[in-house]
Structure 1
Amino acid sequence: MSRVVMAAALAASLLVAVPASGTAADTDYTLSVDPSAKGATIDDSMYGVFFEDINRAADGGLYAELVQNRSFEYDPADNASYTPLTAWAPAGGTLDVVDDDGRLNERNRRYLRVGLPGGVINSGYNTGVNVERGERYDFSVWARTDQAAGTPLHVGLTDEAGADLAAPLKLQVTGDGWKKYTGTFDARQSSTNGRLLVNGGGTGTLRLDMVSLFPRDTFKGHGLRSDLARKIAALEPGFVRFPGGCLVNTGSHEAYEAPNWERRRSFQWKDTIGPVEERATNWNFWGYNQSYGLGYYEYFQFSEDVGAMPLPVVPALVTGCGQNRATDDPALLQRHIQDTLDLIEFANGPADSTWGRKRAEMGHPKPFKLTHVAVGNEENLADEFFARFTQFRAAIEAKYPDITIVSNSGPDDTGANFDRLWQLNRDAGVDMVDEHYYNSPSWFLENNDRYDSYDRNGPKVFLGEYASQDNRFFNALSEAAFMTGLERNADVVKLASYAPLLSNEDYVQWRPDMIWFNNHASWGSTSYEVQKLFMTNVGDHVVKSTASGTAWSPTPITGAIGLSSWATSVAYDDVKVTAADGRELFSDDFSGDAGNWTGNGAGNWGVVDGAYVQSDVAATNPLVTAGDPTWNNFTFSVKATKKSGSEGFLIPFAVNGTGNPFWWNLGGWNNTRSAVDGGNSSRVFHADNTTIETGRTYDLRVEVRDRHVKLFIDGTLWAEFTDESGKNPEPFRQVVTRDQATGELIVKVVNAQADAARTKIDLGRTTRVKSTARATVLQGRPDDVNSEFTQPVRATETQVKVSNSFTHTFPPHSVTFLRIKERQR
C-alpha cells in the first residue's frame, strides 16, 4: 500500500465535489462502433484480485480459524495492547504462559500452563465466535498432563452467558508428551457471541497449545471461510496477487531462527508452509499478530480453486511503505534469491524434487503452474531496488526462463522515483512493471487516457493496486470510467487488481476496501459490484469505437493563499497578493500582529522580529490561510526563510474549501526534491531536485492567470503549467469488446453524472444484430454505500431493443453493459 505523505496529511480536510442527485435532464451523445476493426487482445488474466493481510483479512477473515491467539503468541512487542492471553479469559485455576524446554516446537514456543482444576475461555474475533445452528465445528488442541492417570478435558461451545450452543465434548488427556486431541460439535443453537471453553479437571498441571475451532464447511474443504471465498470466486479472477503489499518488504529480512523468534520479519514463504503447528507466527506491518495458518500453500491452493493464476511477491531487500532502507548484506541477498528459486520449485517442481516433495507432502503432488513472480513492492529507493532486482532477475531467468518476472515503479503514479524506475525498467527490457496508486475520484475520471501514450514496445503494465479514495458509488463510477481506459489499452495493461480486497469492519487499517465483513456476514462494496461486472464480462478483444464528449466551459483557478511547513521551522515575510491589473488585494509585512491569518491548530506560529515564524520542527502541515476564496487571476508573492528542520517550504494557493488546493512544496521529501501538485486533478505538475538552504531568504512568486500558473524563485521562472481540471472531468466513458464464444459485442458505458445520457449508438450499416440485447445495469445515488443491512447498488438485468443503429438512454450515475448478439453474415 502506498501512503503519499502530502495526501495523508490533507485527507481529513479535502472534499471531493461530486454531481448532485435529483431530477435528471437528458444530455445527448453519440457512440460509433466499427465491429470490423479489431483492437487490442484482452488476456484471460486481465483482471484479478490482490490479497494482503490488512484489516484482519487473514486471521479473523478469509482463514476460517475461529479461535483468536490460538497458540498464545500475542506479544506487546507486536501491539502495545497485546498480552499472551489476549482474547482469553480464565475459567478457574492458575494460568501461566511460558516459554521453556517443554514447548511444542521451536517455532511454536509459548504454551499455556493450567493449574487444575481450571481452564480458559476464548472470545474469538469481533463480538465472539460465530456459531450457526445445524453446522458442525471441528475442535483440536495439543495438550499434555503431569498426571499418570490422565486429565479429563471438558470442551464447551457456549453463548456469552455460558449456555451451551452444542453438546460439550469430553476428552481425556494422557501422558506428559504433546499429543493432538480432536472432537466435533453439532450446533443446536446460533449465536454471533459464542465462546469456546477448555477446562481441565482433577489436580496437577495441564499444558495446552494450538487451541483450534474450525467450521466444517470451508471453501472446497481447504480451510477458508466460505462466504468470503465465494464472493472472491464470483469475481472470476484471472490472477491472485499475494501476500502483499507492505507485508512483503517491511520488517527484518533475516531468516527465521529460534533465537530470533520475536524479530519482526518480512513475509517469507518458508515460514508459512508445513504442519500448521510448526509454522512461525509473526508481527504484522498493519499492527497485529498473524498466525500464518493462511500460508503460501493455501494461497496457491486458493488460486487453483478459483481458477486463477497465482502471482506471488517476494522481498527485494529494500524496504518500502515509508521505511526506505536497503540491505547491504551480499550473503543475505543471495539467501533471498535462493529462497525465490526454491519457491518456484515448491510451486512447479516434480514431487521428487526437494521443495516439490514438501508440496506433495502437504497434499498436492501436481504442480501449481506458477508463471509469474513479482520482486519487490513500492520501493522508494529506485537505484538501490533495481540493483537488487537485477540479481533476482538474472538468477530466475537462468534457471526458469519461462517465468515472467515483475518489477515495480514505486508507491506513486508519478514523480521522480516513478520516472527513474520506469527508465531503469525500460532500459533493461523488463517484462512487466507493477504500478500502484490511490487517488481521488476526479483523478480517475480525468486519467481515462493514462495509458494511451505508453510505449507499445516497452514493458507491460501490471496495475497491482488502485482505488478511488472512498467506498461510495461515485467512487465506483470513477473507477469504472478508468477501467474502460484500461481495456482500451489492453495491449499495454495486461493485469489489474483493485486493492485492498478484504476488511473486517472492527479492525480497519485502510479504506476503501472491496469486500467488508464481520464474524457472521459479508457484503460487497459498490466498487465490488463494478469490479464484478467488468471481471465477468471482459471479452476477448477490443472493438474500435468513438464517442462524443460532454460540453464544458472552463472556470479560472480560484482561492485564497496559505503558508505552511513540514517538520521544519520557517519564517515568512512581505506577503502580497495583487490582481492581474496591478490592484493590491492583500498585503502583510507582519509589522503588527497576524490577525489576518487563520490556522488549523497545528504548529507554533508567531510574529518574531517582523516575520511570521512557525517554530515547531515536529509539526506536519501547520497550515495558516488568508484572503478571499473567490480570488482569481492574481499574483501571490512571499519572502521565505528556512530556520531549521528537515525540509523547506510549503506554499498552498487556490485554497477555497471545496477541493484540493495547489501545493508548492520546496525542499520536500527530506529536502531532496521539490514539486508543485494538487488542484482538483491531484496531479504533480512539475518536480525537480531543487533543495532549500537554511538561513537563506528566497523571493517566491506565484502567478495565476485563468488556468495557467507560473512559479518564480528569486525572479527566475521555476516552472509553469496549465491545469485543465477546471473543466469537469469527463463523466461519459465507454469501451466495446467482443466475446468470441458467444458472438456478442459488449458495449460498456459509464455515465458518472446527474444527467441521463441519451446516446445514438451506430454499429455500422453492414452489421446485423438480434433485435434484443441483455442490459446489466448498476445505478444509484453518488453517496450510496453498500452495508451489511442494505445494498442499494446491485446489478439488475433487463432486455432492451437494439438494431445496427438505435438510441439508448443510460441512466444518471450508472454503469451499463449491453451484450448485443451479432448475426452471422
Structure 2
Amino acid sequence: MPRTRPRPAPVVGLLAGALLAGALAAAPTSGALAADPPTPSDYTLTVDRTRTGPEIGERMYGVFYEDINRAADGGLYAELVQNRSFEYAPVDNPSYTGLTAWTETATGGATGTARVVDDEHRLNERNRNHLRLELHGTGGADARHGVTNTGYNSGIAVERGERYDFSVWARTDSRRGTPLTVTLHDVSGEPLAAPLRPTVRGDRWTKYTGTLTARATSTTGRLTVAAGGFGTLRLDMVSLFPRDTYKGRPNGMRKDLAEKIAALKPGFLRFPGGCLVNTGSHEAYEAPNWERRRSYQWKDTIGPVEERATNANFWGYNQSYGLGYYEYFRFAEDIGAMPLPVVPALVTGCGENEATDDPELLRRHVRDTLDLIEFANGPVTSEWGARRAEMGHPEPFGLTHLAVGNEENLPDAYYERLAAFREAVEAEHPEITVIANSGPDDTGATFDRAWELARETGVEMVDEHYYNSPSWFLENNERYDSYDRFGPKVFLGEYASQDNRFRNSLAEAAFMTGLERNADVVEMASYAPLLANTDSVQWSPDLIWFDNARSWGSTSYETQKLFMTNTGDEVVPSTASATPVVSGPITGAIGLSTWATSAAYDDVRVVSADGEELFADDFSSGAGRWTEAAGRGTWTVEGGAYVQTDTAAENTMVTAGDPAWHDYDLHVRATKREGREGFLIAFGVKDTGNHYWWNLGGWGNTRSAVEKATDGGKQTMIEDGTVIETGRAYDVRIEVRGRQVALYLDGEKWGSFTDDKVAEPFRQVVTRDEATGELIVKVVNAQRTPARTRVDLGEGAKVAPTARLTVLTGDPDAVNTADERPIRPERSVIRGVDTTFTHTFPPHSITFLRIGERTS
C-alpha cells in the first residue's frame, strides 16, 4: 500500500455532504435515513441468456495479509507474550527498550536486578538479546524476583477452562539450580491458573515447558516469571500460547481471526506485504547490520522460532517473525487458498525511491527467490524441500504464482531488475507465474510507464493498487472495459474506499460488479488491509478489526464475504438502465493548506470569468477574512504574508470566500519556507472534507497532483513530477470553467482536466453457478431512493417461482463495531419470480438474488 499520506484511525471522522457530491439527482445525504421514504425510481434489468460472458476463476477473490496495524504479533499470530525475546529496541520505535511490555517484580523480600543484555551468552546469533537476572538470595524460601509481561492491548486474554502452553529458554550459574515460579494472574493480582514451578539446572540454554489451565476468564491477564535463590539466571523466548489455535496448529493462528478469514473462502492469500517487503535494507541479517531495518526476506522467517530474526517493521514496531513463511504457506493450505508470496525487487517504494545497483546483491535475491520456490514445491531430497519437511510438511505446498516487488515508484529501474528475476524463474520453473506491479496509484506517469513496460516485456500479470473515495469507485465501474483482452492480466492486489462506513462498502460493491463483468481481464482481486488491532492502527479502513479478546468484520467484510461466497462460474451478459443525472459547474470557496511544511501565501485574488473581482487579500489588514480550523497548524501574518509555521502539522487548511462561486480564476503567490513538502491550494471548497486541491510538492516533495476530496476520501485527477524549491515564490493560477479546470504555474500551463464522470449508484452483474444451475443476480443500489426494477430474464427461460434473497442494507453512515453489527446479511425467499418480474431493491443496499431453474 502506498505510504503517501498517513491514514486516520480507526475510523475517519464523520462524513459530510452527499455520497455522489451532487452528481446525481437522488443523491443520499449524510446522517440517518430520511423519515419519509422517497418515491421509488424505475429501472430495467435485462439478462441475455443467449450469450456467454467471461469465465470467473476460482481465484477471483482472495485476501491480502500484511503485518500492519499489529496484524501478526498481538494479532493473527497467537502468541500472548509481547516482546518475548527482549528484542524490542529504539530502531523499531523510539519509545522501545529491551524491557518494553515487561516490569520488574519481587515478592517475599527478594531483591535483584533485571537487565537486557547482548553478550557471548546469547541464545544464538539471530536471537541476540536475553534477560539477565541477578538474584541476591534475600528473603525467605518463597521469595521470588523476576519480571511480569502485560501482553497486548489491555493484557493477556484467557478463557476459563482453556489450556495455555508456557515455555522459556533458561540457564543458571547456580550449582543447586534456580527455582522458577510461573504465574498467570489478573492485573489486580488475582490468580487465573495454578502456578508452574520448574527448576532451571545448568549453565547451558535449555527449554522448559508447562501448561496453565485458566480458572477464570479475563482480558487483563499478566504473566510473571520469577526466580528464587542466588546467582545469575538468564531467560529468553518467554512464551504463552493458547492450545486452541486454528486447526490446533502449534505456533499457529489465533482462532477467531483465522476463522473469519477462512469464512471468506478466499481463492488466494497474498503475503507478507506490502510496504514492509520492499523497504529498508536489502542486505542479509548479519553483522554489522544487526540493528538496521531490513526488507522482509523469507529465509529470516523459517526454522525453529528461537532461531529466527526479528526486524523493525516498516509500520513502526517490532516484528518477531514467529509468523513466518512456513506458517503462511500452511495457513493458505488450511483455508484452501493459493499461496501468493511477494519478494523484494531491490527497488524501494512506499515513499522511498532508491534502486540497488549492487549486482551481487541482486544475484543473491534472485537465488533466494529460486530457493523459495524449492522450499514451497521441492522434493524432500532437495536442500530447501528438506527444510520444509523438517518443519513438518514433507508434501509440496503447490506454489504457482509469485509477485516481485510492491508499488515501486521507479518503473524503469524496477522493470530492469524484474527482468533478472523473470529470466531465472522462467528458466528453472516455467510453471510459475511471475507478477509485476504498476506502482502505488490508479493513474499517473508511474502507472502509465509501468504498464507500457509490462506490455513491452510480455509480463503475464500486473498488480494494481489504489485507495480512493467512494465517488471514485462509483465513477469507475467501467475502468476495465477498455483494457486489452490479449495483454497482461490484472491482479487488483490492494483496493479500498477511504473509510469503514457502509457507504464505502456500497461503492466498493458497485465497483466489484465491474470487476466480475471483466473477469477475463481482472483475474484476481483483494481488499486491503485485512486486519487492524484497535490499539495499534497505522492505516484505516480495514476489513477485520480486533482487540485482545474480540474480533468483528467491518461493513466491507460483510460485502466481500457476500461476493466471495457467491461468485459464480461465468458472467451472463446483462444491461440496466441508468440513473438520470443533474450536472452543474464546479462550485465552492477557496483554501490554503500545508502538510508537514511551513509555507507563506500572499496576493490572493479570485476573479470571475467575466472579469469581476470576487475576492482580494494581500493580508495588509490581517487575516480576518479566513476561517481557521482549531488544532490545524499555526497561522499568522508575517511581513504582509499569511504564514503557516508548524512543520509537523498535517492538512492545515484555512478557507475563505463563497461556497456558491463558480467559473472563476484563483490567483495565489506561494512560497515554501521549510519542511518535507510544498504547498496546497484548494478550490471548489464546500468544507474540509469536500474540495479540490492542487498538491504542489506532495508525497515528500516527489510529485504534484490535483486531488479531489469527497467526504474525506481522495482521488487523483491529474499529476506530474513537479517538485517545489524552498524559498522560491511561485505564481499560481487555477482557472475553473464549468467542470473544466486548467492550472498554471509561473505563467506556464501545468495541466488541465475535466471532472465529468458520472457516479452511477445503480449497478448490476449476473453470473451463473454451474453446480446449482442458478443465476446470481447481483444489484447495488447506492442511493437513498428505492430502485423499482423490471427484471427480464429472456424469453423461454425456465425459471423457478421462488428465489433466494440475501441483502445488506442500512444507514450509509453505519459502522460495524465490537458491540454492534448494524450491517449484516438478511436472508429470505421471494415468490412470484418469472421470465419477467418486478422487484424493488431497497435504498442503500447490496442484493444477491439466486434464481433457480424450473424443474417441470
Coarse TM-score class (shorter-chain normalised)? over 0.9
Partner of 2:139: none
Report the Cα offset of residue 159 of structure 1: 1.9
What is the CA–CA distance in structure 2 between the aligned matches of 1:591 and 1:229, rounded to whole Å? 62
- Determine helix, strand or coil for the equivalent of 1:651: strand
What is the CA–CA distance in structure 2 between the aligned matches of 1:187 and 1:512, rounded to whole Å? 35
What is the CA–CA distance in structure 1 between the aligned matches of 2:337 and 2:519, rounded to whole Å? 18
| 2:551 alignment partner, one of 516, 522, 540 | 522
Partner of 1:53: 67
What is the CA–CA distance in structure 1 between the aligned matches of 2:105 and 2:175, rounded to whole Å? 24
What is the CA–CA distance in structure 2 between the aligned matches of 1:8 and 1:168, rounded to whole Å? 43
Report the Cα offset of residue 8 of structure 1: 8.5
- Determine helix, strand or coil for the equivalent of 1:39: coil
For the Cα contact (< 8 Å) 2:762–2:780, is it kept in 1? Answer: yes
1:142-171 deviations in Å (ceiling 9; x for gaps)? 112222232222222222222322222222
Report the Cα offset of residue 13 of structure 1: 10
**Is 1:437 equivalent to 2:466 in the alignment?**
yes
| 2:798 alignment partner, one of 758, 762, 768 | 768
What is the CA–CA distance in structure 2 between the aligned matches of 1:503 and 1:121, rounded to whole Å? 26
For the Cα contact (< 8 Å) 1:219–1:229, is it kept in 2? Answer: yes
1:370-414 deviations in Å (ceiling 9; x for gaps)? 011111111112222121111111111111111111111111111
What is the CA–CA distance in structure 2 between the aligned matches of 1:691 and 1:221, rounded to whole Å? 54
For the Cα contact (< 8 Å) 2:671–2:730, is it kept in 1? Answer: yes
What is the CA–CA distance in structure 2 between the aligned matches of 1:567 and 1:129, rounded to whole Å? 37
**Is 1:810 equivalent to 2:841 in the alignment?**
yes
**Is 1:377 equivalent to 2:409 in the alignment?**
no
Report the Cα offset of residue 112 of structure 1: 1.5
Residues 689-708 of structure 1 mapped to structure 2, 5 A cutoff = 700-708=732-740
What is the CA–CA distance in structure 2 between the aligned matches of 1:195 and 1:689, rounded to whole Å? 52
> Residues 64 and 670 of structure 1: is their aligned pair in 2 closer, same or farther, counting only changes over 3 Å?
closer
What is the CA–CA distance in structure 2 between the aligned matches of 1:667 and 1:125, rounded to whole Å? 39
Partner of 1:114: 133
What is the CA–CA distance in structure 2 between the aligned matches of 1:571 and 1:100, rounded to whole Å? 53
Partner of 1:710: 742
1:579-631 deviations in Å (ceiling 9; x for gaps)? 334333223455654443445553665364x7667788887665443321211
For the Cα contact (< 8 Å) 1:24–1:812, is it kept in 2? Answer: no
Partner of 1:33: 47
Report the Cα offset of residue 418 of structure 1: 1.3
Bigger mean CA deviation after superposition, 380-389 or 310-319: 380-389
| 1:799 alignment partner, one of 829, 840, 846 | 829
Residues 268-347 of structure 1 mapped to structure 2, 5 A cutoff = 268-347=297-376
> Residues 50 and 688 of structure 1: is their aligned pair in 2 closer, same or farther, counting only changes over 3 Å?
closer
| 2:542 alignment partner, one of 513, 517, 524 | 513
> Residues 247 and 648 of structure 1: is their aligned pair in 2 closer, same or farther, counting only changes over 3 Å?
closer
Partner of 1:128: 155
Partner of 2:218: 191
Residues 228-239 of structure 1 mapped to structure 2, 5 A cutoff = 228-239=257-268
- What code does the residue aligned with 1:703 have? E
| 1:44 alignment partner, one of 54, 58, 65 | 58
1:779-825 deviations in Å (ceiling 9; x for gaps)? 11111111111111111210112111111111111111011112479
Residues 671-750 of structure 1 mapped to structure 2, 5 A cutoff = 674-678=704-708, 680=710, 682-688=714-720, 700-712=732-744, 718-724=750-756, 729-750=759-780
- Determine helix, strand or coil for the equivalent of 1:485: helix
Bigger mean CA deviation after superposition, 678-687 or 118-127: 678-687
What is the CA–CA distance in structure 2 between the aligned matches of 1:693 and 1:225, rounded to whole Å? 50
May I ask how many residue pairs the two structures share in their alignment? 821
Residues 459-470 of structure 1 mapped to structure 2, 5 A cutoff = 459-470=488-499
- Determine helix, strand or coil for the equivalent of 1:230: helix
- Determine helix, strand or coil for the equivalent of 2:516: helix
> Residues 531 and 365 of structure 1: is their aligned pair in 2 closer, same or farther, counting only changes over 3 Å?
same
Residues 383-402 of structure 1 mapped to structure 2, 5 A cutoff = 383-402=412-431
What is the CA–CA distance in structure 2 between the aligned matches of 1:475 and 1:533, rounded to whole Å? 15
Bigger mean CA deviation after superposition, 520-529 or 698-707: 698-707
> Residues 401 and 473 of structure 1: is their aligned pair in 2 closer, same or farther, counting only changes over 3 Å?
same
> Residues 398 and 583 of structure 1: is their aligned pair in 2 closer, same or farther, counting only changes over 3 Å?
same
1:314-336 deviations in Å (ceiling 9; x for gaps)? 11111111121221211111111
Residues 155-194 of structure 1 mapped to structure 2, 5 A cutoff = 155-194=182-221
Partner of 1:246: 275
> Residues 136 and 13 of structure 1: is their aligned pair in 2 closer, same or farther, counting only changes over 3 Å?
closer
| 2:819 alignment partner, one of 789, 796, 816 | 789
> Residues 646 and 792 of structure 1: is their aligned pair in 2 closer, same or farther, counting only changes over 3 Å?
closer
- Calculate percent identity across the aligned residue pairs: 68
**Is 1:531 equivalent to 2:545 in the alignment?**
no
> Residues 577 and 369 of structure 1: is their aligned pair in 2 closer, same or farther, counting only changes over 3 Å?
same
- Determine helix, strand or coil for the equivalent of 1:516: strand
Bigger mean CA deviation after superposition, 367-376 or 91-100: 91-100
Bigger mean CA deviation after superposition, 429-438 or 680-689: 680-689
For the Cα contact (< 8 Å) 2:653–2:688, is it kept in 1? Answer: no
What is the CA–CA distance in structure 1 between the aligned matches of 2:549 and 2:601, rounded to whole Å? 56
1:86-105 deviations in Å (ceiling 9; x for gaps)? 22222324212222211111
What is the CA–CA distance in structure 2 between the aligned matches of 1:29 and 1:433, rounded to whole Å? 36
Partner of 1:4: 4
Partner of 1:655: 685
- What code does the residue aligned with 1:257 have? E
> Residues 46 and 429 of structure 1: is their aligned pair in 2 closer, same or farther, counting only changes over 3 Å?
same
> Residues 682 and 126 of structure 1: is their aligned pair in 2 closer, same or farther, counting only changes over 3 Å?
closer
- Determine helix, strand or coil for the equivalent of 1:313: strand
For the Cα contact (< 8 Å) 1:16–1:442, is it kept in 2? Answer: no
- Determine helix, strand or coil for the equivalent of 2:491: strand
> Residues 13 and 581 of structure 1: is their aligned pair in 2 closer, same or farther, counting only changes over 3 Å?
farther
- Determine helix, strand or coil for the equivalent of 2:49: strand
Residues 505-654 of structure 1 mapped to structure 2, 5 A cutoff = 505-564=534-593, 574-589=603-618, 593-599=622-628, 602=633, 606=637, 608=639, 623-638=653-668, 650-654=680-684
Partner of 1:142: 169
For the Cα contact (< 8 Å) 1:523–1:786, is it kept in 2? Answer: yes
Report the Cα offset of residue 711 of structure 1: 3.5
Partner of 1:498: 527
Partner of 2:138: none
- 5+ unaligned residues in a row in structure 2: which ranges? 20-27, 136-143
For the Cα contact (< 8 Å) 1:17–1:658, is it kept in 2? Answer: no
What is the CA–CA distance in structure 1 between the aligned matches of 2:95 and 2:385, rounded to whole Å? 40
Report the Cα offset of residue 529 of structure 1: 0.4
**Is 1:24 equivalent to 2:37 in the alignment?**
yes
- What code does the residue aligned with 2:73 have? D
> Residues 171 and 796 of structure 1: is their aligned pair in 2 closer, same or farther, counting only changes over 3 Å?
same
What is the CA–CA distance in structure 2 between the aligned matches of 1:567 and 1:795, rounded to whole Å? 43
The CA RMSD over aligned residues, in Å, is 2.6
The TM-score with structure 2 as length reference comes to 0.91
- What code does the residue aligned with 2:332 have? S
For the Cα contact (< 8 Å) 1:605–1:614, is it kept in 2? Answer: yes
Report the Cα offset of residue 195 of structure 1: 1.7
Bigger mean CA deviation after superposition, 529-538 or 143-152: 143-152
Bigger mean CA deviation after superposition, 675-684 or 479-488: 675-684
- Determine helix, strand or coil for the equivalent of 2:50: strand
| 1:447 alignment partner, one of 476, 483, 504 | 476
- Determine helix, strand or coil for the equivalent of 2:687: coil
- Determine helix, strand or coil for the equivalent of 1:35: coil
For the Cα contact (< 8 Å) 2:67–2:273, is it kept in 1? Answer: yes
